[in-house]
Structure 1
Amino acid sequence: MRIISGSLKGRKIIAPKKLPIRPTTDMAKESLFNILNNSFYFDSISVLDLFAGSGNISYEFASRGTSQITCVDQDFGCIKFIKQTADSFNLPIQTIKSDVFKFLEKATMKTDIIFADPPYNFPEEEFAKIAELVFENNFLLEEGVLIIEHSKHTDLSEVKHFSYAKNYGSSVFSFFENEVS
């Protein structure tokens, strides 16, 4: 994987093969950041990266100037790799080793962007539970967005707070937002 833009543009990051990850492809990641670039100033937002895996998305945010990034993953190897990589590039990434659902049930924080990249083979109810917990527990700031990456075989359009989806090859990004009153 490589960092597409920002201060670390072009840097390659090689994760250990033993990590249980499926990094977001460069094409999908570039498309996602093109969308986000139209709505956010990266140097003035906070990001929560759920099912962070290799930290691929968090490194991209950090390279673009985001200084408040929290990664959550239950795999110790993933958390260790993210921490080591963040330290080696001097990136402002905090890591939390936790089951994402337990974290969402207990944590109290507000953030601009939540990116969740759970295993593609999750049942649709588990994907929906992520959105449910994020909105029930008010994790997003008023103009914030939850983005869930999933396979094209999963349809989240009926989940509450769904806004739209963008398809990139075999990956889909579903966007969820606070309802406008």
Structure 2
Amino acid sequence: MRVISGRAGGLKLTAPRGTTTRPTTDRVKEALFNILEHAGLLEAAHVLDLFAGSGALGIEALSRGSASCVFVEKNRPALEALQANLSRTGCDTDATVLRQDALRAIERLADDGRRFTLALLDPPYDSGLQTTILEQVADRLMEPGGTLVMETDSRSQLPERIGSCTLHDRRVYGDTAILFFTTEARHAP
């Protein structure tokens, strides 16, 4: 596991101890971030990395020019790996780490008035949280026209419309599917 590109490109990342965290493969991460970079969604972005694990996705975003990233993770071994990875890559100055359950973190961030242009969502495949997380993040934390990226099992089928976000692309890489949702742009009254 490594940072693919950008200012920290090529640096190795630490994986969390144990089997509770499923890191995104370098192949999937490279494809995902090439899509995001080509679409101009990384430069100066304010990123949310929910279910951050080792932080590999948020660190990749920071390495490629995002302005800031909030990492949310509650698992202690994953948090230890995340902190080590932020320090090793020099991305710690642009990062905020919340040791919290995802749903509580969404509530806290919404109460604080935080808004994001890009959300990277990787809940456990068997958690049943995908729809709830998408709806909560889209409706409470995203800037109008923001992008939400959901990593899930390739057999999972999510609705094309969830809350204020709409599916606009789905890519499959072996057992992994990457779904790209966009939030509605709000119109002036």
Q: 2:44 is aligned with what amino acid?
A: S
Alpha-carbon separation, structure 2, partners of 1:19 and 1:79 = 14
Alpha-carbon separation, structure 1, partners of 2:16 and 2:81 = 8
Q: 1:172 is aligned with what amino acid?
A: A
Once the two structures are superposed, residues 114-136 of structure 1 have per-residue CA deviations (whole angstroms, 9 ceiling, x without a partner) of 0011111122xx21000111123
Once the two structures are superposed, residues 32-56 of structure 1 have per-residue CA deviations (whole angstroms, 9 ceiling, x without a partner) of 1111112225331111000000111
Q: 1:27 is aligned with what amino acid?
A: R
Is residue 127 of structure 1 aligned with residue 130 of structure 2?
yes
Identify if the C-alpha distance between structure 1 residues 41 and 157 changes in structure 2 by more than 3 Å, giving closer, same or farther. Answer: closer
Matched with 2:80 is 80
Q: 1:116 is aligned with what amino acid?
A: L
Identify if the C-alpha distance between structure 1 residues 104 and 88 changes in structure 2 by more than 3 Å, giving closer, same or farther. Answer: same
Alpha-carbon separation, structure 2, partners of 1:168 and 1:131 = 21
Q: CA deviation at 1:107?
A: 1.7
Contact 1:165/1:173 (8 A) holds in 2: yes
TM-score by length of 2: 0.86
Is residue 166 of structure 1 aligned with residue 171 of structure 2?
yes
Matched with 1:177 is 182
**Segment drifting more, 35-44 vs 111-120:** 35-44
Is residue 93 of structure 1 aligned with residue 98 of structure 2?
no
**Segment drifting more, 56-65 vs 111-120:** 56-65
Structure 1 unpaired stretches of 5+: none
Paired residues, what number? Answer: 178
Is residue 116 of structure 1 aligned with residue 121 of structure 2?
yes
Matched with 2:27 is 27
Q: 1:42 aligns to what SS in structure 2?
A: coil
**Segment drifting more, 54-63 vs 76-85:** 76-85
Matched with 1:142 is 144
Matched with 2:107 is 105
Structure 2 unpaired stretches of 5+: none
Alpha-carbon separation, structure 1, partners of 2:57 and 2:138 = 22
Q: 1:142 is aligned with what amino acid?
A: P
Contact 1:162/1:176 (8 A) holds in 2: yes
CA-atom RMSD in angstroms: 1.8
Runs of 4+ in structure 1 deviating by more than 6 angstroms, as ranges, are none
Alpha-carbon separation, structure 1, partners of 2:70 and 2:116 = 10
Identify if the C-alpha distance between structure 1 residues 179 and 42 changes in structure 2 by more than 3 Å, giving closer, same or farther. Answer: closer
